[in-house]
Each structure stands twice: as structure tokens, then as C-alpha cells.
Amino acid sequence: MTETQTDFRLALSRFASGVCVVTATDPGGRAYGVTISSFCSLSLDPPLVLFCIGKKTSGLEACAGGAAFAVNVLSEQQLHLSDVFARKEHDKFADVAFTIGGNGCRILEGCLATLECSRVETYEGGDHLIVVGRVDQMAYADGGLPLLRFTGRYRRIGGEL
Ligand SMILES: Cc1cc2nc3c(=O)[nH]c(=O)nc-3n(C[C@H](O)[C@H](O)[C@H](O)COP(=O)(O)O)c2cc1C
């Protein structure tokens, strides 16, 4: 990594984010999930969200080429799920409780929110692809606190200002 790339990472790590697991199904019907922090809302009308997926990610086809995906917003109790879905080459769903959503994607149990989406567009973005989806179904918890990522570490919310 060049010095500029290190600075880029360090500067961007100062932007705090939530942590999600995006689930999708590849053309062969195999379920896939990946830890994502590059998730955000895009439009209210129509209801659109986006996330960015690295081009070297094994589930690129499932996430960026499939008809549907689901976004599972992790709570502070679900740090282990972030680790599980950020690790390569293992059965990520082996010890994970989930149901199947209306769009066929896996919905992880106990999340703060889940958004079931139809993929509407995929755009080029350097070494990532930008995936835009329309939210068809959503559910959210009344309570609970989010898992956060800041300066390369997991954090919890410190309180209201
Ligand atoms: C907190 C956190 C956030 C991440 N955010 C993203 C992201 O937004 N986009 C992405 O492509 N990878 C992201 N990753 C990395 C992927 O989770 C990781 O590359 C994963 O191993 C890909 O798995 P696969 O190649 O088996 O599909 C993130 C990892 C962590 C721990």
C-alpha cells in the first residue's frame, strides 16, 4: 500500500458507520453473505439504498448481478456476525440463525433492521461496484443499539449530545 493509500484509509476511518450483512443468492442458488459498512440510503421516493462491493469479493456475482439482496443492520450484540461474514472461504451460515425473506434472501435473526431489496442498478466505482436497490419490505426493532465502526475498531454508541 502506498503512503497516500494509507492516509486515505486513515482519513476515511474517521467517518463512523454502522455495520450490515448483505445477503444474496448467486445464479446457482447458493446463499451468500458479506459484511458491509458502505451502506446508505439514497432516495425516499422511490425508496432506494446503496452499498459498495469490492470487485475481488467472492460473492460479487450474487450481490451485484442478482435480482435481489437483503441488508441486515447489526446491533451491538452481533459483533461476531460481522467477523463471520467478513471472513473468506468458509460456510458463513453454519452457526447463524436466519429465515428466508419474501425475495428469497436470508434474513439474519436479531438485527436492528432488515431491508429486502430488488436490485435496480449496478455502477462502476474504481475497485468496487456500487449496487443500488429498491426497498420492497422492511422491518425494524423498537429498541437496541447499533454496532459501529470507527478508526478500524468496533464501537458502541456513547450517548446523546
Ligand atoms: C466492518 C467491516 C466493513 C466492511 N465493509 C465492506 C464494504 O463496504 N464493501 C466490501 O466490499 N467489503 C467490506 N468489508 C470486507 C468484506 O466483508 C470481506 O472482504 C469479506 O471477506 C468478503 O468475503 P468473500 O470474498 O468471501 O465474499 C468489510 C469488512 C468489515 C470487517
Q: Which CATH number fits domain 18-147: 2.60.40.1580, 3.40.50.300, 1.10.443.10, 2.30.110.10?
A: 2.30.110.10
First-last CA distance in the chain: 37
Q: What Cα–Cα distance (Å) separates residue 55 from each residue in 7, 14, 63, 120, 126?
A: 22, 24, 11, 18, 9
Tell me the one-letter amino acid at 71: V
User: 3-class SS at 123?
Assistant: strand
- CA-nearest residue for atom 17, ligand 1, is 86
Q: What is the pLDDT of residue 62?
A: 95
Separation of CA 99 and ligand 1 centre (Å): 22
- Residue 3: count other Cβ atoms within 10 Å of its Cβ: 7
- CA-nearest residue for atom 15, ligand 1, is 86
Query: In this structure, what C-alpha cell is assigned to residue 92?
Result: 458463513
In the chain, % helix, strand, coil (3-state, to 5) comes to: 15, 45, 40
37: Cβ contacts below 8 Å, ≥ 6 apart: 17, 18, 19, 20, 149
Q: What is the pLDDT of residue 89?
A: 76
Q: What is the pLDDT of residue 159?
A: 84
Q: What is the pLDDT of residue 90?
A: 80
Contact 145, 159 (CB under 8 A): no
pLDDT, averaged in runs of 10, over the chain (161 residues): 95 98 93 97 98 96 95 98 93 96 96 98 98 98 97 94 90
The minimum-distance atom of ligand 1 relative to the CA of 57 is 25
Q: What is the pLDDT of residue 27?
A: 86
